[in-house]
């Protein structure tokens, strides 16, 4: 049995991803800053018949992220799929003329150092398996910079570049690296932005390694 590890797991999109991949036979590792939150979600998923466990990790603390992913792999089995979708913090969402170096430092830790740490931790196991997926989830500023949310726009650009380089480099090894762009809010029951719909798009990315980026909805040029 192999595992999907969700970095930034919550009761909306994270829970939908867990159920979508769990139905396909994956064990589920849930990572977030709150141990109580992921334990509660893991208990809910376990009651539904899935194998799920929660792990506390702060994506701005590389050591805690590495430790959590290592424990998940030991407890549940090799990590075959990693999703990265923690919710950006408010200080990253300032207009460009108000954004300071300190604001950018936090955003870079969150959206560049965190993804690099997580991907580096799981890649050796995926390469040993000869398969796997690393799936990045970003807002609309991941595809088009938005001066109203300068920190995430700058950091998401770095995350997107890293993801694209991984996609191109690992394509010949059976490892998929893809990105889902979600412009606007995730809304339960919505035709394009509902958690279940978005989880289905991530499953599509996992099973279509020729594709790099998909959108919740088209973004105008």
Domains of the chain: 3-215 (3.40.50.720)
User: What separation in angstroms does the CA of 172 have from each of 49, 50, 102, 177, 178?
Assistant: 35, 32, 39, 12, 14
User: Which element (helix H / strand E) includes 79?
Assistant: strand 79-84
Write out pLDDT tens, residues 85-100. 998 877 778 999 999 9
pLDDT at residue 221 greater than cutoff 60: no
Q: Which strand (E) or helix (H) includes residue 5?
A: strand 3-7
Count, residues in the chain: 221
Q: How far apart are CA 105 and CA 39, in angstroms?
A: 30
Would you say the pTM of this structure is higher than 0.75?
A: yes
220 pLDDT tier (thresholds 50, 70, 90): low
């Amino acid at each position: 049995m192999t595992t999907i590890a969700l970095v930034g797991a919550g009761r909306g999109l994270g829970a939908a991803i867990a159920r979508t991949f769990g139905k396909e036979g994956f064990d589920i590792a849930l990572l977030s800053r709150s141990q109580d939150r992921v334990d509660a979600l893991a208990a809910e998923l376990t009651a539904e018949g899935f194998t799920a466990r929660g792990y506390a990790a702060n994506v701005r603390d590389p050591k805690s992220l590495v430790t959590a992913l290592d424990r998940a792999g030991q407890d549940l089995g090799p990590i075959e799929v990693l999703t990265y979708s923690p919710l950006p913090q408010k200080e990253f969402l300032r207009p460009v003329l108000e954004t300071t170096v300190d604001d950018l430092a936090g955003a870079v830790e969150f959206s560049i150092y965190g993804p690099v740490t997580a991907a580096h931790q799981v890649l050796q196991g995926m390469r040993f398996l000869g398969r796997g997926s690393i799936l990045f989830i970003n807002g609309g500023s991941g595809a088009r910079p938005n001066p109203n949310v300068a920190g995430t726009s700058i950091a998401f650009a770095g995350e997107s570049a890293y993801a694209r380089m991984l996609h191109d480099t690992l394509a010949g090894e059976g490892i998929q690296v893809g990105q889902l762009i979600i412009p606007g809010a995730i809304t339960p029951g919505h035709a394009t932005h509902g958690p279940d719909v978005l989880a289905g798009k991530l499953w599509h990315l996992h099973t279509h390694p020729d594709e790099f980026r998909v959108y919740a909805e088209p973004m105008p040029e």
